[in-house]
Each structure stands twice: as C-alpha cells, then as structure tokens.
Amino acid sequence: MKHLFLSLLRPALLLSCLVAVVLSDPPMNVRWCVKSDKEHEKCLAMAKKAPVFTCVKRPDSLGCITAIHEGIADAITLDGGDIYTAGLENYKLYPIIAEDYGATSDSCYYAVAVVKKGGAFGIRDLKGKRSCHTGLGKSAGWNIPIGTLIKLDVLKWGGFEEESIESAVSNFFSTSCAPGAEQGTSLCKACKGDCSRSHNEPYYDYGGAFQCLVDNAGDVAFVKHLTVPDNMKADYELLCLDNTRAPIDDYKNCHLVRVPAHAVVTRKDAGMEELIWNSLTSLQGFDLFSSEAYAPAKNLLFKDSTQKLVRLPANTNSFLYLGASYMGIVRSLNKEVNLDRSNAITWCAVSHFETKKCDKWSANSMEDGEFKILCQHAPTVEECMKMIMSNEADAIAVDGGEVYTAGKCGLVPAMVEQYDAAKCSQSGVSASSYYAVAVVKKGSGVTWDNLKGKRSCHTGFGRTAGWNIPMGKIHKQTGDCDFTKFFSSGCAPGSPPDSPFCSQCVGSGKSVDDKAKCQASAEEKYYGYAGAFRCLVEGAGDVAFIKHTTVAENSDGKGEEWANNVLSSDYELICPNKASVPVSDFESCHLAITPAHAVVTRPEIRSLVVDVLQKQQERFGKDGTDSNFKMFESAPYKNLLFKDSTKCLQKVPGTDDYKSFLGPNYVDAVLSLRQCNDATPDLEKLCTSHSCQQTN
C-alpha cells in the first residue's frame, strides 16, 4: 500500500514541480536601468503607471550595460557607440527596439556640427577652437565627428602606438567638454559639472552639448539634427564637409553622417524581449517621449524627439544593427586594437575542406616570422559575412548575388577573380564575367517552355547563376513569387530546411541525420556549380542552373570521381525562345552574362586586403614563386576559397561600390527578384531593416 501511495504521489509531486518550473520561467517584470536622479524620477513615474517596470540606477551607460549582462537589470536605451560596446563579447547584449524619429529621418538621425551664425570658420578650421560633445564614445558627439576629422586629415593622429585618441583630440581643440573623459584634462575643462557621462553633468547629451555652445563654453557643438529648438534656429548654422556653412534645417545636405537610431538593448532572452516590447507598447497614461516634467533635463529614458518605437527583426545583433560603415568608424577610434593582426588578414572558410585549404595557406604565408593569412570558419557564407562585419574575420570570395547582399550590409568588393590569363598582366581591364546557363540531359525533352513542374538543381539559394538569374527570369514570366508552384522540387542549398528546394539535396552522405543536407557549404554534395551539375547527372533534377564552363570541367575525364563516366555530349543547353543547343554553344544560348566572383571586406580595411592578396598571389598564384601552396587549385575537390578557373585576382576597377561592380543590368535583375520576400536572404533582410545600416 505504501508503494502504491508513493507511486501515486510521485506523479503529483512531479506535476507540481513542473508547474513551479513553468510558472517561474517567464520574466515577471522589466528592470529598467537609469543613469541620473532625473531619469530615476521619470522611471518611477512610469513604474507607477505600469507596475511591470522597476528601476535600477547606475552611474553611467557602462554600469547599466554591466548590470544587464549580470542579470541585475534588464533594459536600457543606448546610442550607437554604447550599442557597439554592449554587443562586445564581454557583455553580449542585443538591440531589440529602435526609436523612430518620424518623417524627418525614420530610424536614423543626422550627426551635425552646430556653430553660432556669423562666424567665418568651417569644419577644416576647427583646430584650436573649443568643442562641445554629447559624451566620450557617443555617436553624434564623439565617434562621428572625431572619425570625420581624422578622415578629412584635419585632425592628425598617428594611431594608438603613438598616443591615445583622447590625447590627440586634447591637442587639437583648445578646451572641450566631453563628458566621460578623465577629469582634470582639457576634455573636461569646458564642462559645468563633474564631467561624468550622465545627466549629473549639465553639458551631457544633445541638449547639454548645445547648451555648452549657447553658454559660450564652446565654439562648436557635435549633436544630432533635431537638437536646436525651432525658436533658436535662426541664430545657428551647420558646418558642412565641403567647408561651407548651411542653415540648421538643411541637415540632409549638410551633415557628417547618418547614424542608426538609439535602441533598447537587453540580454538574449526571447521571453524578456517579448515582455519589454509588450510592456512599452501597451503603456497607458504615460508619455515615454517627453521629459518636460523634469526640466531642464532632456531625453530621459528615450529621446524626446522619438515619434514611435520599431521592433527589430529577430537575430539582429549590435553589428548588424549599426552596419559596416558605422562599425568602421567606431573601430577606428576603439582603443582595443589587435596589433597581432595589423599586417595580416583573416580569411573566412566555409566547410571542412575549405578550412583545411585555408590552414595550409596560413602555414605557408609566414614572412619575417609573421603570418599574413589567418583563418576563421563559419558554416555558411552568410555567417562569414556576419563575422567580417563584427571584425572576427576580414575577407571571403563570393559570387555576384552574395556581393549584392554584402553591399547591402555595408561591405565592399576589393578584388575580383580574373579568368582570362592574358588580362592578368593588363591594368584597367574590365572585370571577368561568365555565362549563366540552363543544362538538361540530351534527349530528355526538357525545354524552357515546359520547365514548369520539373525538378531543379541550383548552385545555392541567392547565388547568381544558380538562383538570381533563372528565378528572376521565371518571375518576370509568371509574376508569381512562389517558385514552389513552378518547380515540383529541387536542391537549392541554403533554402529553409522544410522547403521543396531542399527535398532533392543529399547532404554529405555520411549519416542518416545529416546536418549538412541543404546547407550552403561544400559539405552538401549538390552545392556550388559542380554540385548542381552532379544533382542533374545523378537524376535528382531535370535542369541544372550553372555557369558555362561547369560541364566541361566535370566531364570527359575531368572532375571528381563522380564525374568519371560523364560525357559532355550527353548534355545540352536550353534558353527562352530557342531550340536546345550543344553545351559548347553557350554564347548563343545563355540566360545572362554575370559578374565574376569577388573578395568582399569592410571598407576601412579594403586597402590592406588588396595589398596582402596582391603579395600572396605573387607567391601562390598561377605563376607564383612558391610551389608549396596554390591559391587557385583545390584538387581533389572543387572551387575551395576561390574558383579553380581563376588565373589571378585584380583590384576592383574604378569605384568599390557594389552596384557599380555588379552593373545596372544585374542590379535590376536582383531588384526584380527582391520583390519576392522569400527571395531575399535572411542576412540581407537584417541588414536592410532600416536605412542607416547601409553605406551612406
């Protein structure tokens, strides 16, 4: 009986424990972090209206960031410079909600330099003047103006090896108020209070920096475009990058840079993110965006100019939110510079085989005791791009479709693969290109006109020849974005796992539960040009979208083991409004001429990447001086790190803008395809969730 009682009791105890666990899991309240007495007052008033909020006080932004990381607080609204800090490995916080400033700028604002009207000096004449900053390390008040002055070569700074950036700025301006700087230095000399980066310093933040200018404690105030009150605009002007001046309201034509809006950050916790969003958006009887009751303090909890809040897409991190262009400015002024990597670049490899090749490249790249190539690994090209944006890697070679996505994320093409050896010795030649073609088995009866309902083999989702070009043509033909209605199934590595475009993929073939299945990496046997052709050869598809050289490279005795018995004469090309032709007749039957693959990187290290790669190919290129490693050979595999057909890498001619590199025809094709939401890679969606993330 005792055993029966215990057996009956145990499920009840277990159930009560489970209920307790379930009930304790969801967060019950939001602990908002504040940085001043006035902000604490406003927070308490908010908590009175909505008891879900409680208030935690810390002396500054870093104190709040630390408190949230340690689980003592849950949320705070930060500017771009602090969002960068919050996203570092030490803290791992994420932006989840952005401020929206209305029609004037949406989720962006303009960093401007404001001066009193009537002066004769421009932005290039600021040396020796007095400066007012919103705070040390803040976006509009420090990172942007100081980075701009360095970029214009107005402020001379030799780097951290010579002196700190604070020291360089101290020597540039006669006196300043930069709240958060070391007390007793010239950067605090113009301040009115304790020079802390909080509202305890009257000249802190936008309103404070402008008041510093109004009080004649400075000659220029670095603020945002909405700072100057309407009734004072006539007495002030903006400094423009061309050394002229403009009225305050002409900020769209006269600004330093557009800056991502302030955003709410928290820990990675879906339940907490949901609670913060719901609590803020359902708040009744309290004006989040007004600090009038706490005058003279301004911008408490949120900026007073905020019109509404915008929820950011899931998986947005600090680096994706800020964008590569802004990240470059922040890094250039960041004290934590990794000197070990100053003369090297870190290549991002996708797949086990690419990593092995990269490791061999790195081992052979040593010069004078220093590695010139370091290696990083990611499961997909998109993850590699994220690593490049977050400074964990520096470069990767990608196809045109991926160049487009990289460009949308603020990365730039640095070098392009050249497939014509004769052009490698010429300067100023046009970038290489190749033909995107549709290949079918000879005699299969498959034509462009009867493709509907067939199975398709693609190099990868979002890739140029394998996806963007053929699907763009099909979209123009049908006007339907649902390509699963056109093809019955297929393999397009990188597609969602439950998509019909994953059903024909085979993965690595190593296990039943194969995590490589449909992954956009060489671990998936049907990935890339050779993989898409193999998909057709092995009967997993009826058509393969590849480039014009792929069949020749994988038939008639060439290619990997699977291609041993493949004859090029057993395959043919199809294209719109034309009968099928031999695979060698690609000039008369192709879908488009597409741009070559290119190396993408962050804009601020483009020249370093070009310099390192030019020297590396002198050693390891087709005619390199060192035979221990070959950059453009992948045997027994295919197209690892670079395409095997590459003869050399050339600096991207002309501008480094991704649109100029891809050309108007290709950009138009991609834009047409982007009308279909499902045709846009997830990374591109994250990078374009607001306009300030992209290069200005």
**What would the mean pLDDT of 564-592 be, rounded to a whole number?**
95
DSSP label at residue 102: G
Q: What is the pLDDT of residue 8?
A: 33
pLDDT averaged over every residue in the chain = 88
Please state, in angstroms and rounded to a whole number, the distance separating the CA atoms of residues 477 and 483. 12
pLDDT value, residue 579 = 93
Q: For the residues 467-496, what does the mean pLDDT come to?
A: 92
262 vs 80: CA distance, rounded Å = 6
Q: Give the pLDDT score at 538.
A: 97
347, 394 in Cβ contact below 8 A?
A: yes
Cα–Cα distance between 521 and 383 in angstroms, integer? 11
Beta bridge partners of 236: 116
Q: How confident is the model at residue 523 (pLDDT cuts 50, 70, 90)?
A: confident
* pLDDT of 210 above 60: yes
**Res. 10: pLDDT tops 60:** no
- Asked if pLDDT for residue 2 goes beyond 50, the answer is no
Question: Tell me, what's the pLDDT at 332?
Answer: 66
Determine the pLDDT at residue 151.
80
- pLDDT reading at 693 higher than 80: no
Confidence band, pLDDT 50/70/90 cuts, at residue 513: low
The answer for residues whose C-beta is within 8 angstroms of residue 146's C-beta and 6 or more apart is 155, 165, 169, 333
Q: How far apart are CA 675 and CA 488, in angstroms?
A: 22
What's the rounded mean pLDDT across residues 360-375? 93
Overall average pLDDT of the 315-344 stretch: 70
Neighbours of 200 (CB within 10 A): 17
Amino acid at 343: N
Distance, in Å, from the CA atom of 515 to the CA atom of 341, rounded to the nearest integer, reads 33
Q: What is the pLDDT of residue 9?
A: 34
> In the structure, what pLDDT confidence band is assigned to residue 556 with cuts at 50, 70 and 90?
very high
CA–CA separation, 380 and 587 (whole Å): 32
- Is the pLDDT reported for residue 21 higher than 80? no
Least confident of 128-142, 356-370, 375-389, 510-524: 510-524
pLDDT of 343 strictly over 50? yes
The residue behind tokens 């900026």 is: 303
Between the ranges 272-286, 305-319, 425-439, where is the mean pLDDT highest?
272-286
Q: Model confidence over 143-176: pLDDT tens digits? A: 999 988 988 889 988 777 778 899 999 999 999 9
Q: How far is CA 339 from the centre of its chain?
A: 24
Q: Which pLDDT score, from 0 to 100, does residue 441 have?
A: 98
- What band does 263 get if pLDDT is binned at 50, 70 and 90? very high
pLDDT of residue 5: 31
Residue 314's identity, in one-letter code, is A
**Which of 26-35, 258-267, 466-475, 504-513 shows the lowest per-residue confidence on average (mean pLDDT)?**
504-513
Q: What is the pLDDT of residues 76-122, one digit of tens each?
A: 999 888 999 999 989 999 999 999 888 755 567 889 999 999 999 99
Give the confidence band of 428 by pLDDT, cuts at 50, 70, 90: low
pLDDT of residue 517: 93
Q: Assess contact for 205 and 305: CB atoms under 8 A.
A: no
In the prediction, which pLDDT does 11 show? 41
pLDDT beyond 50 at 487: yes
236 pLDDT tier (thresholds 50, 70, 90)? very high
**Which of 197-211, 385-399, 503-517 is predicted least confidently?**
503-517
30, 72 Cβ separation under 8 angstroms: no
By percentage, how much of the chain surpasses pLDDT 90? Answer: 65
Give the up-direction half-sphere exposure of residue 577: CA atoms within 13 A in the CB hemisphere: 3
**For the purposes of burial, counting CB atoms within 10 Å of the CB of 443, is it exposed (0-12), middle (13-18) or buried (19 or more)?**
exposed
pLDDT at 511: 65
Helices and strands, number each (H, E), in the chain: 19, 26
- Give the phi and the psi of residue 604 in degrees, each rounded to 5: -75, -15
Least confident interval from 120-124, 384-388, 424-428: 424-428
Confidence band of 656 (pLDDT split at 50, 70, 90): low
Helices 318-332 + 381-389 axis angle, to 10: 40
Q: According to DSSP H, which parts of 129-240 are helical?
A: 144-151, 165-172, 205-214
693 or 284, greater pLDDT: 284
Q: What whole-number percentage of the chain has pLDDT above 70?
A: 91
Q: Where do the DSSP E strands lie in 92-150? A: 94-100, 108-116, 131-133
| Across 248-277, average pLDDT | 93
d(CA 261, CA 98): 6
Question: Can you give the pLDDT at residue 57?
Answer: 97
Q: Is the pLDDT of residue 336 over 50?
A: no
- DSSP E strands: which ranges in 23-130? 30-34, 53-57, 76-78, 94-100, 108-116
Helix axes 352-364, 606-620, angle to 10 degrees: 80
Provide the token pair at 536. 């057709």
Q: Which range among 38-52, 83-97, 176-190, 513-527 shows the weakest confidence by mean pLDDT?
A: 513-527
Distance CA 670, CA 681 (A): 12
- Average pLDDT on 199-222 reads 95
Give the Å distances, CA to CA, from 58 to 189, 198, 286, 553, 636: 24, 10, 23, 64, 59
The rounded Cα 206 to chain-centroid distance in angstroms is 28
pLDDT surpassing 70 at residue 340: no
pLDDT of residue 402 exceeding 80, the answer is: yes
Tokens of 39: 């902000």
Specify the pLDDT at position 225: 92
Q: And the tokens for 285? A: 């009887």
Length of the chain equals 696
Q: Give the integer Cα–Cα distance in Å for 153 and 168.
A: 13
Q: DSSP string spanning 39-51?
A: HHHHHHHHHHH-T
pLDDT at site 391: 85
